[in-house]
Structure 1
Amino acid sequence: MNRGYTSPVTEISEKDFETLVQMALDEDLPAGDITTDTLFAKEETCTAVLLAKEEGILCGTAVIPCLIQKTKADVTWNGILSDGATLSKGTVVGELKGSLVGILKMERILLNFIQYLSGIATNANKVAKQFPNLLILDTRKTLPGYRKLAKYAVYMGGGANHRLNLSEMAMLKDNHIARAGSIQTAVQLVREKNPGKKIELEIDGIFQLNDAILAKPDIILLDNFSDTDTEKAIQILKETAPMIRIECSGGITPEKLNFLSKFDGIGVSMGYLTHTVKFLDISLDIK
């Protein structure tokens, strides 16, 4: 099963987060760290262990070298685990060695990135593991600037990526269809002007299904369908248009996922994966 509608976010590089790291430093250290600069000498050194305090999936370690470089701290990072690793309580992720002042100044920022992205990865992993026959998709409901990182975290957790941005693929909704005049016209216009781009068509009721099938989009999204209409629509699509991918969205609850899991291979998009996230409990313990 392909875990993405376009190109999934399987890796991240410094260009994807260096601006965020710099913004975090400017926000947290506009004029130094009063407490640390007062109490500790610049020459003091230490070892700090990045330690998991609960079970989850690790994500975001690529940010650490960038953070060290931006702070110009005399600190080295020895990573033991990579993104996507399964964490248990007490698992050592890696060690920072060097300037105590440098480590203390970057501690909160480092943890904010790692805890947040690991929380997303853990969220996605729980759902994907429970429903392995569904394509558990993220959405664009992400914090500004964090889109690629959040989608990377979903992928690291075993989830799948919907479109990364509005430029990657077309998604036709009610306003677009109203402007075009009909479902078939909307799909045709987008296809003619954007050859090679995938087209997803959102429909709000089963009464639109026949027109949707005739338009031949790549994906048909059943938005807020009842269980009865969902089952009927999926049956029709699999029998008459097996080449069109099926996606469900709108108020997806655990109960709804239990129901949808009887339909192998369909996509389920969930804003919950990225917008309802608990930081994973990971600490930086200084020895």
Structure 2
Amino acid sequence: MQELDMTISSADGLDWEEARSHVSAALDEDLAWGPDATTIATIGADATGTAAIVSREHGCLAGLPLAVLALQITAERDGVELDIEVRLNDGATVAPGQTLLRATGPVRTLLTAERIALNYVSQLSGVATATHQWAQILQDTGITVRDTRKTIPGMRVLQKYAVRCGGGANHRMGLGDTALIKDNHIAATGSLAAAFTAVRSKFPELPVEVECDTLEQVAEAVEIGAELILLDNMAPDVVKDAVGITRPAGVRTEASGGITLYNVAGYRDTGVDYIAVGALTHSSRVLDLGFDLA
């Protein structure tokens, strides 16, 4: 069996052992109610063939290493070998009719792995494709699109990997790598300054981002030492005014809330550093891919 080139994923921070564990669990779930009855009944044990994952539309690729893992793990469990030819790397753009990979071996193994392989690469390529659209629109503006924590449970690391494949950047991975002071924290402590001081006291080394709804809050956040300010639901002209406050102090900004591909043009010349788009991970349509058996 062909060994998968580890650089496909590890070069962009996708933990290989974690990915293998995730794929194994997905395969277990698919077989939790018994073996692949339809395939066993209709395909002879000695039948061999070649299957190809083929794009049905234009998009940006992510998750192909996980599709390969699904094929490899299934083959290992079946005690057989597959010859897998990877045609593209994650991050590549694809067109209708383009082959992403070809796998040759026992047909039973190929068909048992089919749905899990497609689930990964279709879902993650959908995230990468949506991110790529944003990255293209924001090209040459100095603005980077990035994700949020609005991810599918259990898929966060993989979806955020797909965002990177599409040309975006990741916001915090979880609750512990960056502090984000939001309105509820401010309400609970009594003031923005009190919330900021509490975080700095308890976690002095942690980066701190502050969510602001008004220019007055932006000025206060700059004054108390915030490193990054989230400009929540601000119109483009207000975002531009906020950047006028933050930039002289060297504080980065992130616009969030209600920004779509249809209105993002208004934010292109605001000077904001990031645009946060939760829809990248919670609402992206899967990329239409097929698993064609020859």
Verify same fold: TM over 0.5: yes
Distance 1:64 1:227 in 2: 41
- Who is 2:115 aligned against? 108
Q: Does 1:41 align with 2:48?
A: no
| Equivalent in the alignment of 1:5 | none
Q: Secondary structure at the match of 2:159?
A: helix
| Aligned residue number for residue 293 of structure 2 | 286
Contact 1:154 1:160 in 2 (8 A): yes
**1:14 alignment counterpart:** 16
- Between the two proteins, the alignment pairs up a number of residues equal to 277
Tell me the secondary structure at the aligned position of residue 64 of structure 2. Answer: coil
CA deviations on 1:182-233 (whole Å, 9 max, x unpaired) are: 2222222212322321100001222322211111111011101233322221
Deviation at 1:255, TM superposition (A): 4.2
Letter in 2 for 1:162: H
- TM-score after normalising by structure 1: 0.91
Letter paired with 1:60: G
- 1:118 paired with 2:102, answer no
Secondary structure, aligned partner of 1:254:
coil
Q: Which residues of structure 2 form unaligned runs of 5+?
A: 1-10
Q: Residue 63 of structure 1 aligns with which residue?
A: 66
What is the alpha-carbon distance in structure 2 between the residues aligned to residue 15 and residue 180 of structure 1? 41
Q: Which runs of 5+ in 1 are unaligned?
A: 1-8
Q: Percent sequence identity over matched residues? A: 36
Amino acid at match of 2:38: T
**1:231 corresponds to which letter in structure 2?**
K
- Partners in 2 of 1:23 and 1:209 — Cα distance? 45
Q: Helix, strand or coil for the counterpart of 2:103?
A: strand
1:22-50: per-residue Cα shift (whole Å, max 9, x none)?
33223322311111101111111111112
Change (3 A) 1:272 1:140: same
User: In structure 2, how many angstroms separate the alpha carbons of the residues matched to 1:218 and 1:109?
Assistant: 41
Q: Which moved more, 1:68-77 or 1:202-211?
A: 68-77
CA distance in 1, matches of 2:193, 2:222: 9
SS at match of 1:201: strand
1:20 to partner: Cα distance: 3.1
CA RMSD of aligned residues (A): 1.7
* Residue number among 94, 97, 102 corresponding to 2:104 in the alignment: 97
The code of the aligned residue for 2:36 comes to D
> Counterparts of 1:222 and 1:16 in 2: how far apart (Å)?
34
Contact 2:51 2:104 in 1 (8 A): yes
Amino acid at match of 2:28: D
Partner AA of 1:95 in structure 2:
R
Aligned residue number for residue 4 of structure 1: none
Is contact 1:14-1:63 (8 Å) kept? no
Q: Which residue does the alignment assign to 1:152?
A: 161
CA contact (8 A) 1:14 1:66 kept: no
Q: How high is the TM-score relative to the length of structure 2?
A: 0.89
Shifted more, 65-74 versus 207-216: the winner is: 65-74
Secondary structure of 2:209 counterpart: strand
Q: Secondary structure at the match of 2:234?
A: coil
User: Which structure carries more relative contact order (alpha carbon 8 Å, separation 6+)?
Assistant: 1
2:280 maps to 1:270: no
Q: Which residue of 2 aligns with 1:254?
A: 261
Task: Answer with 58-67 or 126-135: which moved more.
Answer: 58-67
- Contact 2:236–2:270, Cα closer than 8 Å, also in 1: no
